[in-house]
């Protein structure tokens, strides 16, 4: 079986950034495995601009952002295989993949999981009603329009105020469809404020908070949906039902890390993120298997995906060169206001950037990190939104390697 | 005038297709008129997919007799027709003294019906069989099993087609009239002439029976909703778990599917609208709650889809559910085989039902066996089910096996191509889904549906606006974003 | 008059409170950086937006090449801009960065290709 120092599963933004950084750290024996015809992952269909402000200090479209990394991969001659689907990653890091050229197997020293995420579906939400054509997740509608040149909609209702849903509201409107409204079950939007402004408000598309779809109608193509207001327990309030006639329902109701390969490899997942439990090296519980990007936790911005993958690559390079990485005995624990933190485990001996999301809108607060009762890092937030990922740097000289890190929100 | 058939079967579901397949052993011109665009859009594709043991029916009924026969022959049928079937057994779980009484009675009834191997087992044995089940004891039926209802129906239909039966989709029968030595069946696509008619219309059996002049059958629908769970749950459930049944309703059960998912359901709502397959919220909540009493692994995070199905039940004037009716009424409709109220266990019993019906024909007309009848049919090879070595070999022989189109179910281009060029000529998205499992996994086509749609366009030369999802008028796309030339 | 704005310049999406007199901003609070001030002034006088869409590619390995504007244009010209872009069609191969329309509708903004599309093989 052919050996590889590092196999990267997925050539999207995380995989590309990891590959380039590994190269920069002197690792040459790399192979990126990408199931699509081209590198770039989901960015290829995200043709709107707004990417790269943090990473490149300029605003780019998704394809351009991806191309910056692809160009580096090409320039450096980093090996990659496209049209190649990984079928299995084993605990001992044997990677099996299929392509038209045949079934290939590699023994990897290290495997980097950068498979990204998938969209939550209608079935996963359990939306009641019939199952006609015309119910699409936002990403599917986006792929039809931006990659396949196919128009999936005329009269549209959108459920969920995720960023892709709002971006598709604008995209559909620009191409002649009529978007009647966006309904969000939560009392606050799940996407970024700028997208509400430039994708909905600009086009006079109303956003109804605390509303959900209670029934889908149509035996063939969608004929309409019933919408109702919900109470604080997200239960529809009787008497508030309203019918909307439409041929298309777009769902933008959340993203889920795609960890089927990780599970096969024996990687332990975190129930909150549905991604791997990782330490500060972005290493999973399986030595030599690393994860970053949306497969680890769903990010708000691709810039942070790239940066996380670059941090991962630094550790993976050290692992490949020097062997096992330092132990990470310190657990990172979050209070009830915080959904999760990444990483979940640290050494206490190295600067670490904690990523997290709040569970609800909190105004005028501080994100505080404590160890053994002492405040060791804090960040003041005017407004903490679930839609935004919060990052906070904790310096090594403030930490010890005993005692959990406790992250909390204080008002 | 269109050619005249010896037999026209109305309805191409599993019973209609079983009749077509069993009749295609004989030297007959056979046609199947199906109102939908594929063979398993209604009851045949919307059920629990359980092969029943035959213990839950009144002794002496056709349901009991034909179910036991069907159960016995399912292994051979699966082998001949290449559809997935697993004789995994099943348990009916009880807790109270009353449950025990019912189970003992059920066991005895089963033995009378000819169902073999039934036993009452204690809690320890129950937990050996199904570790997580909630219950104090159970009746174990080792010969019960599960199958893929889509592949099963498709296999019967394809084998019938290979042996000469013509399939006509989008051919709803709208009227039947008598003519010299036979019938004219009017459909939305024109008239068809035939000597014999078989009413295998499932939910439409009452309507067709009326058209034949055999009036008065009262058919009600029993609508059951289901929730499908992620494949993560499959390994936790080695066999279906049922509550203690009555002879007319099996109760909400938890069923492992042949592909490794788990389904929960069905409730049983009496309905008169046989076209409405919506699943209401309250039923989903009820299913989850009821099924959790049997099996504790039901979490909303594992939901991937819900569906519903309707069983056509023949009831008397008092609403009491009746047996299968399989008849030829020479005085009212000669040369017409009337199948009424074919509900559960119709899946298990489909081929025995067909043979029973054909025997009625044979009592009236000599049927000549064909020398060249081929009982075997080959399905689409599932890449994912192969060993690493076999996968490598398949790709070498046909590179299309190396292109994974559906990531969740790992369905390759080769399989989707085979499905698009299926012998019956079905071209809907759901038709491809039923034949390959693409779009059936946890992402529900998020990754592959565009690819499948594009392949349908390319392979069949369709415009994007002509690609249908499932039923008539279920257009998937409205055109192009930009005109190409 | 007090009006609220959501700055769209970067993902921070600052919520700005703006005191307006005679159509001009006299005080702006809530912005994390000076871009917020520029944004509000622009919004009050002449709101600007960027758009992204696609153009068909003849003989390409992909049917569409994505495009965007190099600079934002007045918000109320978006549909006019779309109408202009809709007239375009390109031939493969086409490189990312290629300018398809210079000074769109007379503004200091070009329509550029954002995705390279190679020729279809065979």
- How do the pLDDT tens digits run along chain C, 122 residues long? 888 888 888 878 888 899 999 888 899 988 888 998 999 999 999 999 999 999 999 999 999 999 999 999 999 999 999 999 999 999 999 999 999 999 999 999 999 999 999 999 87
Together in a domain, A166 and A258: no
Q: Are residues A409 and A360 in the same domain?
A: yes
Q: Give the C-alpha separation, B189 to B186, whole Å.
A: 8
Domain count, chain B: 2
C-alpha atoms less than 13 angstroms from C-alpha of B458 in its C-beta half-sphere: 10
Q: Other C-beta atoms within 10 Å of B454: how many? A: 17
CATH number at residue B407: 1.10.10.1100
What's the total number of domains in chain A? 3
- Taking alpha carbons only, the member of B82, B441, B387 closest to residue B395 is B387
* pLDDT tens-digit series, residues A177-199: 999 999 999 999 999 989 999 99
Q: Which of C3, C11, C60, C82 to mutate to test the interface with A (most CBs of A within 10 A)?
A: C11
Residues A243 and A226 in one domain: yes
A271 lies in the same domain as A307:
yes
Task: Tell me which chain A residues have a C-beta less than 8 angstroms from the C-beta of B408.
Answer: 260
Q: Sort A383 into a burial class: Cβ within 10 Å, 0-12 / 13-18 / 19+.
A: middle
Of B276, B292, B311, the position where a domain reaches its end is: B311
Phi-psi region of B366 (alpha: psi -120 to 50; beta: other; left: phi over 0): beta
Q: Which helix (H) or strand (E) holds B286?
A: helix B281-292
Distance between B263 CA and the closest CA of chain C, angstroms: 40
| pLDDT tens column, A295-304 | 999 999 999 9
- B40 part of a folded domain: no
Would residue B299 show up in a list of annotated catalytic residues for this protein? no
What's the start-to-end Cα distance of chain B, in Å?
41
Burial readout B355-378 (b: 16 or more C-beta within 10 A, e: otherwise) = bbbbeebeeeeebeeeeebebebe
* Residue B299 within a domain: yes
Residues facing residue A244 across a β-bridge? A225
State which residues form the domain around A332.
Answer: 328-411
Length of chain A: 411
Identify the domain boundary among A253, A279, A309.
A253
CB proximity B260 to A under 8 Å: no
Using an 8 Å CB-CB cutoff, list chain B residues near C63.
482, 484
Contact residues on chain B for C86, CB-CB shorter than 8 A? 482
Query: Do A108 and A154 belong together in one domain?
Result: no
Asked if the Cβ–Cβ distance from B481 to C86 is below 8 Å, we say no
| Within-domain flag for B105 | yes
Domain of B450 in residue numbering reads as: 383-466
All residue ranges of chain A with pLDDT < 50 are none
Count of CB atoms situated within 10 Å of the CB of B294: 22
Backbone angles phi, psi at B10, to 5 degrees: -95, 110
Identify the CA nearest to B453 among candidates A255, A124, C66, A143.
Answer: A143
* Cβ–Cβ under 8 Å, residues C49 and A198: yes
Judge whether B3 lies within some domain: no
Among candidate residues B283, B311, B339, the one where a domain is terminated: B311
- Of C35, C79, C16, C38, the C-alpha closest to A202 is C79
Which residue, A325, A357, A377, sits at the end of a domain? Answer: A325
Same domain as A218, residue A75? no
Cβ atoms of B428 and B469 within 8 Å: the answer is: yes
Both tokens of residue B128? Answer: 């050996």
Residue B118 and residue B246 in one domain: yes
Q: Specify whether B296 is located in the same domain as B441.
A: no
Q: Are residues A84 and A167 in the same domain?
A: no
CB contact at 8 A, A6 and A321: no
Q: What was the pLDDT predicted at C8?
A: 86
Domain check: are B282 and B388 in the same one?
no
Tell me chain A's radius of gyration from C-alpha atoms: 22
Residue B183 makes CB contacts below 8 A (sequence gap 6+) with B8, B176, B177, B193, B194, B195, B197, B335, B336
Q: In what helix (H) or strand (E) does residue B222 lie, and over which residues does it extend?
A: strand B218-229
- Domain shared by A132 and A238, yes or no: yes
Residue B408: inside a domain: yes
Q: Last residue of a domain, which of B280, B311, B342?
A: B311
**What pairs with residue A342 in β-bridges?**
A355
Say if residue A247 is in the same domain as residue A315: no
Is the domain of B257 the same as that of B396?
no
Q: Are residues B93 and B234 in the same domain?
A: yes
Per the DSSP assignment, residues forming a β-bridge with B36 are none
- Angle, in degrees to the nearest 10, between helices A163-174 and A138-146: 40
CATH number of the structural domain spanning residue B138: 3.30.9.10
Question: Is B242 within the bounds of a domain?
Answer: yes
Tell me the three state secondary structure of residue B212. helix
Q: In sequence order, which residues have a C-beta less than 8 Å from that of residue A68 and are 6 or more positions away?
A: A52, A56, A60
Q: Do A407 and A335 fall into the same domain?
A: yes
Q: Choosing among C3, C5, C7, C8, which should be mutated to test the A contact, i.e. which has the most A CBs within 10 A?
A: C8
Answer for the pair B67, B60: CB distance below 8 angstroms, yes or no. no
Reduced to 3 states, what is the DSSP secondary structure of residue C69?
Answer: strand
> Least CB-CB distance to B450: which of A83, A98, A140?
A140
Cα distances (Å, whole numbers) of residue C66 to A136, A172, C111 = 22, 15, 10
How many other CB atoms are found less than 10 A from the CB of residue A82? 15
**At C67, is the secondary structure helix, strand, or coil?**
strand
Q: What is the pLDDT of residue B2?
A: 61
Write the ipTM.
0.95
In a domain, B132, yes or no: yes
Search chain A and give the residue with CA nearest C32: A382
Tens digits of per-residue pLDDT, B41-60?
999 999 999 999 999 999 99
Q: How does DSSP assign B348-413, residue by residue?
A: HHHHHHHHHHHHHHHTTS--PBPTT----------GGGS-HHHHHHHHHH-GGGG-EEETTTTEEH
Do B391 and B267 share a structural domain? no
Place of tokens 């939305």: B188
Residues of chain B found within 8 Å of residue C58, distances taken between Cβ atoms:
484-485
- Which of residues A235, A253, A271 is at a domain's end? A253
The pTM is what? 0.96
Cα–Cα dist B208/C93, whole Å: 60
Q: In the prediction, which pLDDT does B485 show?
A: 65
If we measure between CA atoms, which residue out of B479, B449, B458, C91 comes closest to residue A145?
B479
Residue B370 resides in a domain: no
Report CB contact under 8 Å: C8, A174. no
Alpha-carbon gap: B51 to the closest alpha carbon of chain A (Å): 26
Strands (E) across A120-174 are located at 135-137, 150-151, 155-159
Are the CB atoms for A234 and A212 separated by under 8 Å?
Answer: yes
Following CA atoms B353, B357, B358, B361 in sequence, which dihedral angle do they give, to the nearest 10 degrees?
A: 180
Give which of A394, A386, A313 is closest to A356, Cα–Cα.
A386
Pair (B430, B289) in one structural domain: no
A269 and A247 share one domain: no
Chain B CB contacts of A129 below 8 Å: 278-280
CATH code of the domain containing A374: 2.60.40
Q: How many Cα atoms sit within 13 Å of B37 on the Cβ side?
A: 18
Residue A21 structure tokens: 């950084």
Q: Give per-10-residue mean pLDDT for chain B (485 aa).
A: 87 98 98 97 97 96 98 98 98 96 97 97 97 95 98 98 98 97 96 98 98 97 96 95 84 95 96 96 95 94 94 96 98 98 98 98 98 97 96 97 96 98 98 97 94 98 98 98 87
Encoding tokens for residue B220? 């009600």
Asked if A136 and A102 sit in the same domain, the reply is no
| Chain C partners (3+ C-beta pairs within 8 A) | A, B
Q: What is the CATH number of the domain that holds A283?
A: 3.50.50.60
């Amino acid at each position: 079986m052919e050996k590889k120092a590092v196999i990267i599963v997925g050539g999207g933004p995380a995989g590309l950034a990891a590959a380039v950084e590994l190269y920069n750290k002197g690792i040459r024996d790399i192979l990126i495995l990408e199931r699509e015809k081209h590198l770039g992952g989901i960015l290829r269909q995200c043709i709107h601009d707004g990417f790269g402000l943090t990473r490149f200090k300029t605003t780019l479209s998704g394809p351009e952002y991806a191309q910056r990394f692809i160009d580096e991969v090409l320039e450096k001659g980093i090996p990659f295989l496209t049209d190649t689907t990984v079928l299995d990653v084993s605990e001992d890091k044997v990677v099996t993949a299929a392509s038209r050229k045949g079934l290939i197997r590699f023994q990897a020293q290290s495997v980097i999981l950068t498979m990204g995420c998938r969209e939550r579906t209608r079935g996963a939400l359990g939306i009641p009603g019939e199952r006609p054509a015309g119910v699409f997740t936002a990403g599917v509608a986006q792929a039809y329009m931006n990659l396949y040149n196919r128009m999936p909609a005329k009269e549209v209702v959108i459920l969920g105020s995720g960023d892709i849903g709002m971006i598709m509201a604008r995209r559909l409107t620009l191409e002649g469809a009529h978007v009647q409204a966006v309904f969000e079950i939560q009392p606050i939007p799940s996407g970024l404020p700028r997208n509400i402004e430039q994708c909905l408000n600009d086009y006079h598309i109303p956003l109804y908070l605390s509303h959900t779809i209670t029934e889908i109608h149509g035996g063939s193509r969608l004929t309409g949906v019933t919408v109702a207001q919900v109470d604080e327990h997200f239960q529809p309030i009787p008497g508030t039902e309203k019918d909307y006639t439409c041929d298309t329902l777009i769902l933008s109701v959340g993203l889920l890390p795609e960890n089927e390969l990780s599970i096969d490899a024996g990687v332990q997942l975190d129930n909150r993120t549905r991604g791997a439990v990782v330490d500060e090296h972005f290493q999973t519980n399986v030595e030599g298997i690393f994860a970053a990007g949306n497969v680890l936790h769903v990010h708000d911005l691709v810039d942070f995906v790239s940066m996380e993958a670059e941090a991962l690559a630094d550790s993976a390079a050290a692992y490949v060169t020097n062997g096992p990485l330092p132990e990470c005995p310190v657990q990172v624990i979050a209070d009830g206001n915080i959904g999760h933190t990444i990483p979940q485990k640290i050494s206490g001996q190295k600067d670490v950037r904690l990523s997290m999301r709040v569970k609800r809108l909190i105004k005028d607060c501080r994100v505080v990190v404590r160890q053994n009762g002492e405040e060791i890092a804090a960040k003041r937030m005017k407004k903490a939104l679930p839609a935004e990922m919060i990052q906070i740097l904790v310096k090594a000289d403030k930490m010890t390697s005993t005692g959990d890190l406790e992250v909390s929100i204080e008002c | 005038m269109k050619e005249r058939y010896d037999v026209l079967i109305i309805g191409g579901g599993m019973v209609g297709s079983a009749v077509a397949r069993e009749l295609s052993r004989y030297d007959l011109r056979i046609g199947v008129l199906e109102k939908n665009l594929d063979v398993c859009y209604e009851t045949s594709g919307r059920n629990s997919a359980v092969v029943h043991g035959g213990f839950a029916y009144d002794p002496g009924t056709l349901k009991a007799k034909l179910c036991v026969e069907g159960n016995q022959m399912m292994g051979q049928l699966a082998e001949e027709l290449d559809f997935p079937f697993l004789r995994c057994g099943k348990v009916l779980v009880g807790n109270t003294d009353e449950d025990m009484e019912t189970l003992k009675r059920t066991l005895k009834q089963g033995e009378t019906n000819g169902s073999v191997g039934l036993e009452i087992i204690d809690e320890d044995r129950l937990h050996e069989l199904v570790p997580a089940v909630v219950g104090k004891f159970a009746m174990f039926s080792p010969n019960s099993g599960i199958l893929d209802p889509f592949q099963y129906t498709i296999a019967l239909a394809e084998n019938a087609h290979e042996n000469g039966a013509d399939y006509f989709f989008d051919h709803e029968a709208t009227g039947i009239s008598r003519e010299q030595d036979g019938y004219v069946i009017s459909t939305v696509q024109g008239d068809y002439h035939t000597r014999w008619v078989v009413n295998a219309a499932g939910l439409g059996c009452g309507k067709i029976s009326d058209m034949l002049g055999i009036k008065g059958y009262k058919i009600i629908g029993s609508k059951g909703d289901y929730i499908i769970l992620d494949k993560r749950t499959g390994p936790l459930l080695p066999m279906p778990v049922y509550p203690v049944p009555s002879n007319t309703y099996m109760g909400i059960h938890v069923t492992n599917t042949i592909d490794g998912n788990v389904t929960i359901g069905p409730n049983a709502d009496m309905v008169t609208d046989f076209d409405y397959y919506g699943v209401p919220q309250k039923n989903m909540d009820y299913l989850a709650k009821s099924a959790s009493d049997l099996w504790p692994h039901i979490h909303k995070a594992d939901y991937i889809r819900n569906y519903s199905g309707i069983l056509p039940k023949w009831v008397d004037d008092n609403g009491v559910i009746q047996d299968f009716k399989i008849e030829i009424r020479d005085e009212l409709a000669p040369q017409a085989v009337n199948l009424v109220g074919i509900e559960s266990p119709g899946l298990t019993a489909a081929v025995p039902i067909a043979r029973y019906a054909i025997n009625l024909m044979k009592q009236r007309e000599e049927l000549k066996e064909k020398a060249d009848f081929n009982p075997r049919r080959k399905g689409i090879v599932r890449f994912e089910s192969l060993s690493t070595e076999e996968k490598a070999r398949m790709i070498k022989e046909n590179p299309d096996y190396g292109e994974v189109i559906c990531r969740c179910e790992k369905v390759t281009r080769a399989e989707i191509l085979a499905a698009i060029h299926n012998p019956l000529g079905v071209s809907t998205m759901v038709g491809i889904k039923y034949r390959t499992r693409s779009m059936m996994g946890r992402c529900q086509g998020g990754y592959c549906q565009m690819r499948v749609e594009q392949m349908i366009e390319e392979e069949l030369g369709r415009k994007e606006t002509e690609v249908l999802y499932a039923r008539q008028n279920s257009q998937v796309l409205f055109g192009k974003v930009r005109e190409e030339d | 008059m007090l009006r609220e704005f959501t700055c769209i310049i970067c993902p921070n999406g600052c919520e700005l409170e703006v005191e307006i007199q005679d159509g001009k901003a006299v005080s702006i609070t809530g912005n994390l950086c000076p871009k917020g001030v520029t944004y509000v002034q622009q919004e009050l006088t002449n709101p600007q937006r960027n758009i992204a869409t696609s153009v068909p590619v003849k003989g390409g390995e992909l049917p569409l090449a994505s495009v965007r504007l190099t600079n934002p244009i007045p918000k109320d010209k978006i549909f006019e801009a779309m109408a202009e872009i809709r007239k375009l069609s390109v031939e493969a191969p086409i490189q990312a960065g290629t300018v398809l329309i210079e000074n769109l509708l007379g503004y200091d903004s070009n329509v550029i290709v954002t995705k390279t599309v190679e020729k279809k093989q065979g």
